[in-house]
Amino acid sequence: MTRRTLHRPHKTTQSQRSKMPNGGSVNEPSGNRAAIPRGPEGTTKRPDVKEMLRESKNLLQLVFNLSTNFIYLSPDEIESWMQDVMRIVGEYAGVDRISVFLFNKDCLTAFKNAEWTAQGFKPGREVAPVVSEKEYPWIFSKIKNLEMIHIPDVLQLPTEAGAERRAFLSENVNSMLSVPIVHGFNIMGFLRFDGVANRKVWPDEITLLLRMVGEFFADALVQKQTDEQARTSALRYKSLFEQANDAIVLIKDGKFVDCNPQALKMFRCSKEEMVGVPILSFSPEFQLDGVSSGDRMGQKSSTVLSRGAQFFEWRYRRPDGTLFDSEVNLNQIEFGGETYLQGIIRDVTARKQWELALRESEERYRSLFDGSRDAIYITSGDGTFIDVNEAFLSLFGITREALRTTNAKSAYVTQADCETFKKIIKEDGYVKDFEIRLKGNKGIMYCLITVNTKRNEKGEIVEYQGIIRDVSATKKSEQTIRRLAYHDALTRLPNRVLFNDRLRVAMARASREKKRVAVMMLDLDKFKSVNDELGHKVGDALLKTVARRLGRVLRKSDTVARMGGDEFLIILPDIVDESDATIVAIKILEAFGFPFELDKSPLSVTTSIGIAIYPRDGRDIETIVKNADIAMYYAKGNGRNKFFHYRPDMKSGEAFAGQSAEHESNVTTLVPDRTVNGSS
């Protein structure tokens, strides 16, 4: 817009300004006309009517010019227009300096926005760029009350305006007039008109002009602020439009009229290929629900115009023919006096693919969860069940309804098991294949559990996710295997392997504690005749009965083991001397003095016992067992049903075995008390 030139009326000269009378008062009433000159003798001169009419005409012309120029003013011309207004009004009103002060938001301080000084005027000290209520309390109070302040003589200021008097005198100000800048009921600042060269009393028509200037400036400043806000808003919108991560398009009359770079990237086309093209050219004929794109878009556009923004899903088609799914936020905006539809488009193809994958993953998870043979559960941090699978319900014999009032802690057999589990979880955050006993639907069961945890931002456990496998059968099989590995299958007594292990431990402890260990070798007398005459079934029953009877004779700390056939080995740990072993041998022989009840018929069998003492008769397992064996054959060779302690002068077991073989003849089968005759 071409800048308009302000026409000013008749200019008040410096000589005219100097002739203006002094005196006056603050807020002088409108009836006190200040321009009646007096003659040298004190008589009143009559005013020149023509001169007054000319001044009124000039004032009216000035006001007309100011208002006319303001009407056609562009925002860019406001500052220069304000400078022109201050110059013209200042020269017309005979003002030395005009300052424009605008309040901050708190209205406690005001900063100098503009200033004009008369030609040839030397201000001396300049007006401070920022003034505060603390420095000018009296003036700030008047201005905030929307009062115009007229001070013909600063020396005549009231006592409460002492701060202002000192400030004005330091600035060489003799007279001052301040006009509030008000828009509506909002105080924006004030205009300050200074008389420096002389004291001045401004007449009513001048004060009226200055008040009108304040109103003009208020409107101009509001217009400027509004324009700046609009420009800032436009720049902000443009910045968001250009830099947004989502595609943004402007639509008018069913066509794209603008788009941001992200839209071009999303649609894989140039701006020329998009702007001016109907929006339906970028859509397939039908949307996913089967409705035509034209009908659906028309419906959405009408709804936006009548009811406001709409958020919906839309399938687009790029110029290359590829399709993609999106979320659209369609709303109405005003821009440059025109109404547009603004579409914010987000490509959700990847998200939909992810959602599909998530659903499929959830289905797979649910299939594994429900179909697993292992019990799977999820609980809260306090043990309340959140979800379990069917295998869990079956394993613990519980229904989903009952599960709502059941806590996971109730499955522990002992509190110690619960505390152990909690300790591991606290230290490691998880457990894997942790063996524990739990209460199942069939009683106590052995389980392996694997548990992971979920924690909140404070590190507190809020969820347990666990898998339980019942290994009771496996545990029982392991125990059976272990028993078979270390025990005799017939008598369930320890076998040679376990016997050697226990003897090794007993010998080590005896060595530390300076004690002795006795090893006894037992052999049933004439057992071969039992098998031959009565059968192996009776022989096996006899061996099992012998094992039980020996167990009743011995202490819990003692060990009786079967070596095979009819041979048994006994460990007597922690004995003081051989007399302790003698006592036990006598008890065994006495126990064999009673017939063995087999199939409700008695069978009398004796035994021969050999005894070796550690460490006297040997310091290793092989030696001590060999010497007990020698003593046992010595007992057999000396009539059986006896026991002997090993002595170095005894013959080897093989010699006695030979002697026993010489007597194997004429075995009697059965007698009324089933006493076995024969030799072995």
- Per-domain residue ranges for the chain? 14-227, 244-352, 372-475, 487-662
Is the predicted pLDDT of residue 122 greater than 80, yes or no?
no
Pick from 197, 192, 242: nearest CA to 217: 192
Who's near 496: CB < 8 A, 6+ residues apart? 561, 563, 564, 569
Distances in Å between the Cα of 553 and the Cα atoms of 144, 307, 612 are 117, 101, 19
Whole-number pLDDT of residue 670: 30
Whole-number pLDDT of residue 73: 66
Which of 65-79, 80-94, 483-497 has the weakest average pLDDT? 65-79
Who's near 410: CB < 8 A, 6+ residues apart? 439
Backbone angles phi and psi of 131, in degrees to 5:
-120, 150
DSSP secondary structure, 370-438, as one string: HH-SSEEEEEETTSBEEEE-HHHHHHHT--HHHHTT-BGGGGBSSHHHHHHHHHHHHHHSEEEEEEEEE
DSSP-assigned beta bridge partners for residue 324: 316
Place 66 in a pLDDT band, splitting at 50, 70 and 90: low
The rounded distance, in Å, linking the Cα atoms of 501 and 486 is 10
Is the predicted pLDDT of residue 667 greater than 80, yes or no?
no
Kindly report the CATH class assigned to 14-227: alpha beta
* % of the chain exceeding 70 in pLDDT: 83
CATH topology of domain 244-352: Beta-Lactamase (3.30.450)
Burial of 355 (0-12, 13-18, 19+ CB in 10 A): exposed
Per the listing, tokens 């909140």 go with 456
Is the predicted pLDDT of residue 237 greater than 80, yes or no?
no
The rounded distance, in Å, linking the Cα atoms of 464 and 377 is 8
The predicted-structure confidence for 512-531, as pLDDT tens digits, reads as follows 999 999 999 999 998 888 88
Is the predicted pLDDT of residue 142 greater than 70, yes or no?
yes
Which one of 51-65, 446-460, 472-486 scores highest in mean pLDDT?
Answer: 446-460
Is the predicted pLDDT of residue 467 greater than 60, yes or no?
yes
Which of 354-363, 497-506, 601-610 has the weakest average pLDDT? 354-363
DSSP letter for 202, please: -
DSSP-assigned beta bridge partners for residue 247: 345
Place 545 in a pLDDT band, splitting at 50, 70 and 90: very high
Contact assessment for residue 517 and residue 572, using Cβ atoms and an 8 Å cutoff: yes
Whole-number pLDDT of residue 35: 36
The rounded distance, in Å, linking the Cα atoms of 262 and 619 is 92
Pick from 203, 158, 215: nearest CA to 177: 203
Asked if the domains at 14-227 and 372-475 fall in one CATH topology, the answer is yes
The rounded distance, in Å, linking the Cα atoms of 317 and 290 is 16
Place 71 in a pLDDT band, splitting at 50, 70 and 90: low
The predicted-structure confidence for 474-491, as pLDDT tens digits, reads as follows 888 877 777 778 888 899
Whole-number pLDDT of residue 27: 36
Is the predicted pLDDT of residue 5 greater than 80, yes or no?
no
Average the pLDDT over 497-517 and give the result: 94
Is the predicted pLDDT of residue 640 greater than 60, yes or no?
yes
Average the pLDDT over 248-267 and give the result: 92
Pick from 73, 60, 63: nearest CA to 5: 73
Report residue 496 as tokens.
């040679």
Whole-number pLDDT of residue 63: 61
Whole-number pLDDT of residue 201: 85
A 10 A CB-CB count for 271 gives: 14
Place 19 in a pLDDT band, splitting at 50, 70 and 90: very low
The rounded distance, in Å, linking the Cα atoms of 541 and 485 is 22
Which of 8-22, 220-234, 589-603 has the weakest average pLDDT? 8-22
Pick one of 3.30.450.20, 3.40.50.1370, 3.40.50.300, 3.40.50.12280 as the CATH number of 372-475. 3.30.450.20
Whole-number pLDDT of residue 68: 62
For the CA atoms of 36, 38, 39, 43, the dihedral, rounded to the nearest 10 degrees, stands at 100
Pick from 244, 245, 269, 271: nearest CA to 257: 271
The rounded distance, in Å, linking the Cα atoms of 283 and 313 is 12
Average the pLDDT over 92-118 and give the result: 89
Taken as a whole, the chain contains a residue count of: 680
The predicted-structure confidence for 176-201, as pLDDT tens digits, reads as follows 999 999 988 789 999 999 888 888 88
Average the pLDDT over 136-156 and give the result: 91
> Which one has a higher pLDDT value, 118 or 570?
570
Is the predicted pLDDT of residue 17 greater than 70, yes or no?
no
Domain 487-662: give its CATH architecture. 2-Layer Sandwich (3.30)
